[in-house]
Amino acid sequence: MDLATLTVHVLNALLYASVMFLIAGGLSLIYGVMRIVNLAHGNLYAFGAYVSAWAVGRALGTSTEASLWMYALLPVGAVAAALLGAVLEPTLLRPLYRRAEEYQLLITFGLLLILEDVMRFVWGPYPLQASALYEALGSLTIGDSIYPTYNLVVIVVGGIAAAGLWAFIYRTGFGVVLRATSQNMRMASALGVNVNRVYVQAFTLGCFMAGLGGAVIMPQQGAVLGMGVDALILAFVVVVIGGLGSLEGALIGALMVGIVREAGITFFPEIELAILYLMAAIVLFIRPAGILGRA
Amino acid sequence: MSAPGVAPRRVLAWSAPVLAALIVLPFLVPAWQTVLLSYGLVFAIAALGFNLLLGYTGLLSFGHSAYFGAGAYAVAFIVKYAGLESMEVFLLGGVVVSGIVAALFGVLCVRYTRIFFGILTMALSQVLWSLAYKFFWVTGGSDGLRVPTPTLLGGLVRMGADKQDFLSGPYYFYVLAVFVIAVAVMWVIVHSPFGKALQAIRDNETRAEFVGVQVWHYRWVAFVISGIFTGLAGALWVPLNGLTTPDILHWTFSGKIVFFTVLGGFQTFFGPVIGAVIYNYLENWAVGYTVYWQMVLGVVLVVLVLALPAGIVGTVKRMSVRAAKAA
Amino acid sequence: MSVDILKTTQLSKSFGDTHAVDHVDFSVSAGEVLALIGSNGAGKTTLINLISGLIPPDSGRVDFQGSDITHASIHRKIQLGIARSFQLVNLFDQLTVRDNVTLAIFSREGRTRRFFSVADADTAVRDEAAVVLKEFGLDGRAGAPAGGLSQGERKLLDVAVAYALRPKLLFLDEPTSGVSTREKAPIMDIITQVVRSGGITAVIVEHDMDVVFTYCPRIVAMHQGSILADGTPDQIRNNAQVTANMLGTQSG
């Protein structure tokens, strides 16, 4: 394999990893702070994709030419997902913190069902596309291959998100509060931290990340029903590998999933999904908490 | 099961009239109603199996469609590859295949609880679903596989000229008989020392371990039994449906099983049974009204969790206990 | 010379930089009733967790009746005859008081694997449970869900469940904590009565020094992961180090 082809494969892996990091990182962040797994998390990713697709679609109208300012519309999906999260946490999740965990799973499962149909209702059963945005940035030549420039945008966004999140959590005051609450909620509360507020903020941030994942990959993949559950299961594979509750773990897991998937598709296209599940199964056997997990 | 076990005599007391009604029903209502109820009874068997894990062992599975589908496809494969059409063979095949699948998946899943367990079960059933799609030359892909009406009781009872007559007659009674046996067997299981051990694990895993109950092992056995009951339901379902498709392996079907169990009340023995039957009627009615059936399910589930966590049967039970105290 | 039913040799466990249990040599003779005291963080519960199998030791050895059980599973240890109660009550809250005890009995008899017999129909087990409950003064609450009992009753039930396993060695982790002073003596009376009549060796972790001095002929004091002193109540009372480290903070 020559360097150019290898570069393309690496970029593809990083592309996939970027999106997976955003989704799984959001899931892990929420779990790390609140000990909650939102089964509808994948649907927030889907919601972000749909809202962005809709916004871009309206901006494009019937034209197929994308103007640069339209890219600024993409984050709309992330913001929408964040807002949705900000509404959902206090209404649906907070009443259940004192109850058995099963209820939390049940209610988020109900939420998953609701969101699927809401998206179907609002945007119809057919996929929404905004490929104009994908194509407008053109492509690069890498060796003999042509590589879409937009993919690099996604990778950069993923990288910025990872760096930004790291800085946010380890370098800001709010990050300290987040970490304190995640390590010992009662203690933090006793020290005056408004735990309810931290929870809704953490949840919103996690949903923002998921929505951003959906928004940023939407030009390439479109927004399609069912993408939410697929994403949830893949995010699960990532956190199994990286450990639930660890952002570094989500990053490592996302990278590994990206690499394995790319390798799998290249050499054994038929069993791509199976390889990922196999990897997750192996990690589960050897190190149940994941590589960096603390579940 | 938390309350001092409903005494066997009381259970028999009110189940006798219910059973009588079920037996007499086909002679009183149109054939399609009887067939509809057959579906309800089939789902009730699946719910019984599912609730052994949820209500009694404290494990919430989002992947029970895997065992229902395993049972259904086992039947379809028996028809396709062995050319057999005996219901007894179908049931045996369904039980064996779903048992094996549950045993394998169980080994992986029962090491975890709660969240991990839930997502893992969901992921595994999705794997089966995607396999059913991919290997279309074996499974018929999205078209699925047809299954003709079977013979019952070792070939003694065969379909006559009219399929509807068969399904609403002999087949209904067959399903009813299996249902009654399944209920009786599950009742004994949950009231056995094994059943108590499961409840102990549900209530306090650490203490269960320290009382000498090997938690992992018992959870696995419960998982396998649960899978077998659900697989049995799947095997009974296929002849009714005439066809099996990957849809019943999809997570949305698992969601239905969760839903009707919670609807009926997962903290009681009969809750899931009643929830399944009620759900069956609800779905049949509502599907005619709206395409957004999933949303309705979701909303009801949310409402159930927030307002009525004991489900229908559980709430009725609580209300009657309160009424008895007030009296 | 009485037989050592339990012996630990250089048993150690650290959590990060903290030596929770630091090369502890500890032995117990068959039939003894001893108290394990020490301030919070001294290592008492960790020591019990190590011996009972809840956590694995970093190094060292545990011998029970001559066999090495250092790395044996919890299940194995229970089969060999080690049982424990818990500081924070650990019961099967949704099961009845009676069922909590019958479960221990079924488990002891190896009957929990049976799923084709109805548990309530087994009169022998029910009768035995009734006897145990009576010994613990809980027979009046036999049919109530364990979650609905008072704290004192729950503490007793916690011990009763461990006792129903008919162990040879019983660890009681703070059996009177969280209970009013009035209730402590009756609880300890029941426990010591039950333990003595069954010939059970008991190791009792306790903070209440009145309880300790009244009920336990041997006291082992721990401090920062090591054994500070080991002797009779008088010896312990007169031990300057113990007094300095612990008794001052324990109001009697």
pLDDT value of position A285: 66
For helices A3-34 and A41-60, the axis angle rounded to 10 degrees is 120
Question: Which of C94, C98, C105, C126 is the best residue to mutate to test the B interface, defined by the most B CB atoms within 10 Å of its own CB?
Answer: C94
Instruction: Give mean pLDDT, residues A219-245.
Output: 86
Phi, psi of A182 (to 5 degrees): -70, -30
Binning pLDDT at 50, 70 and 90, where does residue A192 land? confident
B130/A233 Cβ within 8 A: no
A10 touches chain B (CB under 8 A): no
A105 touches chain B (CB under 8 A): yes
Note every long-range contact of C136-139, with CB atoms under 8 Å and residues 24 or more positions apart, other chains counting.
C136/C160, C136/C163, C136/C190, C136/C194, C137/C186, C137/C190, C138/C97
The alpha-carbon gap from B305 to the nearest alpha carbon of chain A, in Å, equals 6
Instruction: Give mean pLDDT, residues B121-144.
Output: 86
pLDDT value of position A144: 80
CA nearest C42: which of C220, C232, C251?
A: C220
pLDDT value of position C107: 93
Q: Residue C220: helix, strand or coil by DSSP?
A: strand
- Partners of residue A37 in chain B, C-beta under 8 Å: 115, 118-119
Q: Do chains A and C touch (3 or more CB pairs under 8 A)?
A: no
Quote ipTM for the complex: 0.89
Binning pLDDT at 50, 70 and 90, where does residue A226 land? confident
pLDDT at A291 over 80: no
Token duo for residue A81: 């997902």
The alpha-carbon gap from C93 to the nearest alpha carbon of chain B, in Å, equals 6
pLDDT tens for each residue of B25-82: 889 999 889 999 999 999 999 999 999 999 999 999 999 999 999 999 999 999 999 9
pLDDT tens for each residue of B230-267: 999 999 999 999 999 999 999 889 999 999 999 999 98
pLDDT tens for each residue of C96-111: 999 999 999 999 988 8
Chains that touch B (3 or more CB pairs under 8 A): A, C
Of residues B323 and A223, which shows the higher confidence score? A223
Strand C67-68 relative to strand C59-64: parallel, antiparallel, unpaired? antiparallel
Of residues C153 and A181, which shows the higher confidence score? C153
Q: Nearest by CB to C90, from B2, B194, B207: name it.
A: B207
- Partners of residue C108 in chain B, C-beta under 8 Å: 212
The alpha-carbon gap from C119 to the nearest alpha carbon of chain B, in Å, equals 5
A117/B292 Cβ within 8 A: yes
Of residues A233 and C25, which shows the higher confidence score? C25
Q: What is the mean pLDDT of chain C?
A: 89
pLDDT value of position A272: 67
A235 touches chain B (CB under 8 A): no
pLDDT value of position B133: 83
B305/A233 Cβ within 8 A: no
- Partners of residue B210 in chain C, C-beta under 8 Å: 52, 74, 78, 83-84, 90, 162
pLDDT value of position A57: 86
Q: B1 near B51, Cβ under 8 Å?
A: no
Q: A23 near A235, Cβ under 8 Å?
A: yes
B125 touches chain A (CB under 8 A): no
Binning pLDDT at 50, 70 and 90, where does residue A284 land? low
Q: How many B×C Cβ pairs under 8 Å?
A: 105
A118/B302 Cβ within 8 A: no
Q: Nearest by CB to C118, from B1, B192, B214: name it.
A: B192
Question: Which of B11, B12, B186, B192 is the best residue to mutate to test the C interface, defined by the most C CB atoms within 10 Å of its own CB?
Answer: B192
Amino acid at residue number C175: P
Instruction: Give mean pLDDT, residues B178-201.
Output: 95
Instruction: Give mean pLDDT, residues B196-214.
Output: 93
Q: Nearest by CB to B214, from C75, C83, C106: name it.
A: C75
pLDDT at C250 over 60: no
Of residues C241 and A54, which shows the higher confidence score? A54
Q: Nearest chain A residue to B252 by CA: give it.
A: A113
Binning pLDDT at 50, 70 and 90, where does residue B88 land? very high
B122 touches chain A (CB under 8 A): yes
What residue spans of A35-172 are helical by DSSP H? Answer: 41-60, 75-88, 101-123, 131-136, 149-171
Please give the Cα distance from A155 to A220 (Å, whole number).
13
Amino acid at residue number C20: A
Q: Nearest chain C residue to B203 by CA: give it.
A: C92
Instruction: Give mean pLDDT, residues B270-299.
Output: 89
A113/B305 Cβ within 8 A: no
Q: Residue B106: helix, strand or coil by DSSP?
A: helix
B130/A288 Cβ within 8 A: no
- Partners of residue C84 in chain B, C-beta under 8 Å: 210
Q: Do chains A and B touch (3 or more CB pairs under 8 A)?
A: yes
First CA to last CA across chain B, in angstroms? Answer: 24
For helices A149-171 and A195-221, the axis angle rounded to 10 degrees is 170
A278 touches chain B (CB under 8 A): no
pLDDT at A113 over 50: yes
pLDDT tens for each residue of C158-215: 999 999 999 999 999 999 988 888 888 899 999 999 998 989 999 999 888 888 898 9
Q: How many Å is the Cα radius of gyration of chain B? A: 19
Chains that touch C (3 or more CB pairs under 8 A): B
B58/A274 Cβ within 8 A: no
- Partners of residue B305 in chain A, C-beta under 8 Å: 96, 103, 106-107, 110
pLDDT tens for each residue of A152-173: 989 998 999 889 988 888 888 8
A114/B255 Cβ within 8 A: no
C145/B212 Cβ within 8 A: no
Cα four-point dihedral sign C204, C208, C214, C218: positive
A147 touches chain B (CB under 8 A): no
pLDDT at A258 over 80: yes
Q: Residue C204: helix, strand or coil by DSSP?
A: strand
Instruction: Give mean pLDDT, residues A268-283.
Output: 70
Percent of chain B with pLDDT over 70: 97
pLDDT value of position B5: 46
Name A81's Cβ contacts closer than 8 Å, sequence gap at least 6: A44, A45, A47, A48, A51, A207, A208, A210, A211, A212, A214
pLDDT tens for each residue of C67-85: 999 999 999 999 999 999 9
pLDDT value of position B166: 86
- The order of strands in the sheet holding C169-173 is C82-84, C169-173, C201-205, C33-37, C218-223, C226-231
- Partners of residue A118 in chain B, C-beta under 8 Å: 295
pLDDT at A265 over 90: no
Burial class (CB in 10 A: 0-12, 13-18, 19+), B285: exposed
Please give the Cα distance from C154 to C159 (Å, whole number).
9
pLDDT tens for each residue of C6-48: 999 999 999 888 888 999 998 999 999 999 998 887 889 999 9
Q: A215 near A75, Cβ under 8 Å?
A: yes
The alpha-carbon gap from B7 to the nearest alpha carbon of chain C, in Å, equals 10
Question: Which of B60, B104, B119, B306 is the best residue to mutate to test the A interface, defined by the most A CB atoms within 10 Å of its own CB?
Answer: B119
- Partners of residue A280 in chain B, C-beta under 8 Å: 123
- Partners of residue C94 in chain B, C-beta under 8 Å: 1-2, 199, 202-203
Instruction: Give mean pLDDT, residues A91-111.
Output: 88
- Partners of residue A273 in chain B, C-beta under 8 Å: 127, 130
pLDDT value of position B3: 40
A110/B297 Cβ within 8 A: yes
Binning pLDDT at 50, 70 and 90, where does residue A293 land? low
